[in-house]
Structure 1
Amino acid sequence: MGDRWHIEVDHSVCIGSGMCVNAAPLGFRLDAARQSHPRAADADAGEAVLAAAEGCPVEAIAITLADTGEPVFPPEE
């Protein structure tokens, strides 16, 4: 069984570019105000969701391991 990720979007910095939806349409959606939301708070680990987080121009997406809270993205320094 693979890792499960907890996905959060910081709406105080999200600019609604839609890049996350383009990278992972099954992982993210935009609301009427063009704010990004994960389609599910917890999801199976996947390259598309990670690419969306890495490609966010304002780094509004955070991913942690669902069971431990360990950061996946952005990585701890």
Structure 2
Amino acid sequence: MTDVGSSSRASTRRGDKGMSPVARLRLFIKQILDELRKVVPPTRSELLNYTAVVIVFVTFMMAMTATLDFGFSKLVALVFGN
């Protein structure tokens, strides 16, 4: 399946070498703004859900890392003494 805008993008890419730095910067900013218009912001409930998931995951990873650190420090103390 062919992307409708791919031919115009490909021709733009081929013409990039002859463009001035200012024109390339304008094109770059235009492409960024075009992509940002496609972004759909999350709803409030989605945002709260994503935030909760991240907080739970980070808390779990902190607990796991602390447990492993504590266990390895006890193991090293046992093997090598205080």
Q: TM-score, normalised by structure 1?
A: 0.25
Bigger Rg, structure 1 or 2: 2
With a CA cutoff of 8 Å and minimum separation of 6, indicate the structure with the bigger relative contact order.
1
Structure with the larger helix share: 2
Structure with the larger strand share: 1
Q: TM-score, normalised by structure 2?
A: 0.24
